[in-house]
A and B are shown apart, each in its own frame.
Chain A
Amino acid sequence: MSPRRATSGGLIDRSRSIRFSFDGQEFTGHPGDTLASALLANGVTLLGRSFKCHRPRGLLAAGVDEPNALVTILRGEAREPNIQGTMLEIYDGLKVVSQNRFPSLGLDVGAINQLGGKVLGAGFYYKTFMGPVIGPLKGTRFWMFSEHFIRRAAGLGKAGTAADPSRYERMNAFCDLLVVGSGPAGLMAAKAAGEIGKRIILAEQDARFGGSANWSDETIDGQPASDWAAATVRELARMPNVRVLPRTSVWGYYDGNTIAALERVTDHKPSPRRGEPRQRHWTIRAGTVVLATGAFERPLVFPGNDRPGVMLANAAERYAAEYGVMPGEKIAVLTNNDGAYRSALALREAGCQVVAIIDVRAEISETARAIAVRTGAEILTGRAVTATEGGKKLHCIKVQAFDAATGQISGDPRSIDVDCLLMSGGWSPVINLASQAGAKAEWNERLQAFLPPKDTDGWVGAGGFNGTFSLDAALSEGFAAGGGTDTGLLPATSSDDLDIAPAPVFEIAAKGKAFVDFQHDVTSDDVRLAHREGFQSVEHLKRYTTLGMATDQGKTSNVPGLAIMANALGKQIPEVGTTRFRPPFAPVTIGALAAERYGEIRPERLTPMHDWHVENGATLYSAGLWHRPMIFGLPGETVEQAYVREARTTREAAGIADVSTLGKIAVQGPDAADFLDRIYTNMFSTLPVGKARYGLMLREDGLVLDDGTTWRLAEHDFLMTTTTANAGKVMQHLEYLLDVIWPELKVTLTSVTDQWAGASIAGPKSRDILAACVTGTKVDNETLPFMGIVHGEIDRAPVMICRLSFSGELAYEVYSGAGHGTHVWQALTAAGKPFGLVPYGLEALGTMRIEKGHVTGAEIDGRVTARDLHLDWMLSKKKPFVGSMMMDREGLVAPDRLQLVGILSRDNIPLNGGAHIVEELDRDNPHGSIGHLTAACYSPTLGQYIGLALVKAGKSRHGQRAFISDPLRKRFGPVEIVSHHFYDPEGKRMHG
């Protein structure tokens, strides 16, 4: 048996042992242990080093409020830092290391920071590194020099670099009632609601349901409270309308009773079962939330209160009663309230020797005194601990007379040898979730605590959360919160009548470092220093001193910090107010938030011909969610060689490209033509059935939104195409206009992007290829003129063919049902083989459109007008359209606007999109941009590097020399500004 394990008692299973390691040393514990309880049972009291000062630290708490015992778990290559040892269940093979120490926990060179004293006081970083530069030692330059060393010395655990192989999932849930916390109040609420058939979720952050029932010596319904809790949970778990979630921290309370919770599904197992996630992130939409989150005990602030061996009284009670662990052999208690007497008794019953109970109050209740007598301890009222001694472990405390009203210390210190000191500074209800929900906390003078305001229509409180500390009252509040009405159903209890209302003592001000926030090494002197430096607001105090930040979020430090601040300001605590708690209540793994949004199961869109592309050597490229072929490279080809070959072959013979990703919207109904006239700059009502037209859309503010062709398939039936990237945006724009502005128009919009597979077949041989495989229609110039549409079949599959061109060649878009896409594509490539048809990807497509001077999303960047792109000819003067009234505003027609031009590289070196264009080259001090390149390529037709650009007054600069200035990529050199029509400006080829 371990040295500190009691021979009996506790809810652990002594019949089985679990082996784990801490800092490389092997230990054993039992099922039911946390890392903290198991280490304590093994006599390990030093668990970490503090954040700034590297002071040795042991356990302060036993649950989610633990600020000190943060450890790193090693799982294979992955490491997870900053896990609270008090929340970590041990399992066989668990490997844990301590943090923030170098080279080892026992011998830490960083501990020299302790000697610095005031050096690392409040605002140290601001003062040292953000001040003006005076000499070499101040300001941001000094910060940049020092950062590396400071980051290494300070801080919490080190994050790993290996990928986390764990599986995370997210889950949505709905319920009438979410009960947060499974102490007696929470269990009673769930039981009451469950029995009347409500849909319930009961969430408990610990592994074991029951909360205080697990360590109190009270009875409920004639049985020990922990047995009652276990039986009640078993009963709840059997109800079909109840879901019980152990190991589930409710960490966020958002608008509309949307609750975020993290379930640690397999963190307590050596390995998960197949398909089981490590953690599951729950988003719960609850009708009502029952907040039965209990209360946290507060530490007292006195010199040396952070020495390993000094812990919260209730934490020690929990270790003894719930885990059967004795936190020390010789124990003293320091308290300002009666609650700690109960803790002292629990330790006595576990086998510890309680040496002294030191109470800052002069008088104590009879009940408390009676309990004290049973512990066998010496009762020292009107006294306080003013110092502690010991290195990595407490061995002695100094006790002096103390006046609770004035805070005066008097008399000579008396030394008492102890190895464990329990402290209790009163209780703070865990109102964090209610505070997140917007509740403003109210100061309660009797309990010296912030209590939640009255219940809202979103949540109901019960038990310790309300500041209700008696078992009977907690059960009764829980019962009511769950909708129970017949109070005769409430179980009988046995309980002592201790009143935990404390004396208003938060600090014992004596010489030495007295810690308020243990996690951030914030002392009472730091709080007073902040006050002397002019910080008045509690929100500023928090940020300046770091009190209550990071993983701890002020669970133990909030109220003592406020009390000391109030005292310094000469105000009452309620006048100072409290900070609003923010999510998360407890740390959340990033992996759980990302879940399936990350990695191989992230959504992606594939075209109907995707598998053909992969099988035929395409290099894929992700464009938004779409995966599209970039090139169909031959063995040994570079990307540039591949696209140049593809583009050249297309211009000389024929090429085929997958254009299925183009946005396609069915615009149907008797008012469809009218609607298109309103949203396009040009006319569509005049478009005959069986023809397509290029259209341009503006935003309401007159700037260009998108372009594309729209096909009239029947009188009331149009097929609109949009650019791939803008498909969603255009759909929303049109839906808004129809739904909100013109609801009287009879038009239906449907996304049919996925209904159609599209193959663009381009090049002088394209017509011959179609003629060879299309049946049911002719494809000659007469039957299928430029912008004409025909219906036919290819290898028995119905197709719709529109003659239109993006490449500038004679070209067609062949549309078939998506499920026939690969079939039709294969028939086209087979028919094209004798004509030298090649598949081409996005790079060749881009090259040909740059040569042709066609615009895409790179140019339509939300800042350009139709005139900037030389599309004035598309602006109808016969009708109003969206944007027509705004497009002629002064700034949008100014002659020096950025306009679309072509760019020729004059040094025969490739150009890059994004590069600036300047009139004078200055490599050392690049300046004077007159525009930028939007796209660039090698043009096989022109035999040189070309690009498109938006250049100030570009139209008037044709023929001028300028320079590329691209300092990031170190590309500088001469270029010529030319017309954007590099190739076949008259369009003879596509009309041929």
Chain B
Amino acid sequence: MHVSRKYPAWVNLANIVALLGIALFATVAGAADDKPFAEQKVVLQISDNDPSKQTLILNVANNMIKHYGSDKVDVEIVAFGPGVRLMFDDNVNKGRISGLDSNGVRFYACGNTLKKMTKALGKQPVLNPHAKHGGGGIVRILELTSQGYTLVKP
């Protein structure tokens, strides 16, 4: 039997360690890698029931994209409390959300709020397919601000 050993074993091991390290780094770094050339990083908070705030926050995101360019600004909209309605699949602003998503804006819905809404509604609300959800919205905001994002609440 002939076994080809092109590289020394220690090189193969180093490659494996490097790959693992990159994967771990990507997980930890999270959002920042989406727009590596971003000069501005902003998290927009919506937690109001006021319908006009939905329009306002989408306008703010759109204005930043237009001003800086989609590659130079990293925007995530985090919704909790009544603001999660913006992330519903049947929300009247769905088209605008799709447009912003195509420019790299991210959408996050508070998992705790969703649980409460599920209980109140009797079923889980259907979210916009562009919206992610997970832990608490405040936790997500703190996570992003610790990564250097500026919190703005229009």
Note whether A and B form a binding pair: no
A→B interface (CB under 8 Å): none
B→A interface (CB under 8 Å): none
